[in-house]
Structure 1
Amino acid sequence: MSRYRWALTGLAALALGAVVLTVLARTTPPSAATGRGNAALIPTDQRMNAAEFTGLDGWLNSQPLTVNGLRSKVVLVDFWTFSCVNCVRTIPHLQHLQQTYAGRGLVIVGMHSPEFDFEKQRANVAAAVQRFGVTWPVALDSAMSTWNAYGNQYWPAEYLIDQSGRVAYMHFGEGEYDVTESAIAALLGINSSPTPVAATPDVSSQTPELYAGSVRGQLADGESYGATGQPTTYPDPGPPRDADKILVTGRWADQGEYLVAASPGYVRLSFSARDVYLVAGQNGQTAHVTVTVDGAAIPASQRGPDLTASGLDVTGQQLYHLLQNQGGNRRVIDLTVPDGFRLYTFTFG
Structure 2
Amino acid sequence: MTPHWLHAAEGRLPVEGEMPGFDGATGWLNSPPLTAEITRGKVVLVNFWTYTCINWLRQLPYVRAWADKYTDQGLLVVGVHTPEFGFEQDVENVRREARGDRVDYPVALDNDYAIWRAFDNHYWPAIYLADTEGLIRYHHFGEDEYARTEMAIQRLLGDARSDVVTVKPRPIEEPGDYRTLRSPENYTGYARSEQFRSPEGIAAERSQQYTVPDHLGLNDWALDGRWTIGEQATTSDAAGGRIVNRFHARDLNLVMGAAQPVRFQLLLDGKPPAGAHGDDIDADGYGTIGDRRLYQLVRQPGHIADRTAEITFLDPGAETYSFTFG
Aligned to 1:119: 88
- Segments of 5+ residues of structure 2 without an aligned counterpart are 168-173
Aligned to 1:291: 266
TM-superposition CA deviations, 1:121-162 (whole Å, max 9, x none): 000000001111111111110111101111111100000011
From 248, 265, 279, give the equivalent of 1:272: 248
TM-superposition CA deviations, 1:148-188 (whole Å, max 9, x none): 11111110000001100010000000001010000001100
CA–CA separation in structure 1 for the residues paired with 2:198 and 2:157: 55
Aligned to 2:171: none
Matches within 5 A, 1:100-115: 100-115=69-84
Q: CA deviation at 1:237?
A: 3.3
Moved over 4 A (4+): 196-201
Structure 1 window deviating more from structure 2 (172-181 vs 255-264): it is 255-264
Change beyond 3 A, Cα 1:307–1:344: same
From 307, 320, 324, give the equivalent of 2:299: 324
CA RMSD, Structure 1 to Structure 2 (Å)? 2.1
- SS of equivalent residue, structure 2 residue 182: coil
Equivalent AA in structure 2 for residue 298 of structure 1? P
- Segments of 5+ residues of structure 1 without an aligned counterpart are 1-29
Change beyond 3 A, Cα 1:79–1:67: farther
Q: Is the 8 A contact 2:186 2:324 kept in 1?
A: yes
2:139 aligned with 1:170 = yes
Change beyond 3 A, Cα 1:123–1:206: same
Q: CA deviation at 1:54?
A: 3.1
Equivalent AA in structure 2 for residue 184 of structure 1? I
CA–CA separation in structure 1 for the residues paired with 2:104 and 2:72: 14
Q: Percent identity?
A: 34
Q: Is the 8 A contact 2:180 2:250 kept in 1?
A: no
CA–CA separation in structure 1 for the residues paired with 2:27 and 2:265: 38
2:193 aligned with 1:217 = yes
Matches within 5 A, 1:58-207: 58-192=27-161, 193-195=163-165, 201-202=177-178, 205-207=181-183
Aligned to 1:302: 276
- Given the two structures, how large is their TM-score scaled by the length of structure 1? 0.84
Q: Is the 8 A contact 1:50 1:67 kept in 2?
A: no
Q: What count of residue pairs does the alignment treat as equivalent? A: 314
Change beyond 3 A, Cα 1:47–1:217: closer
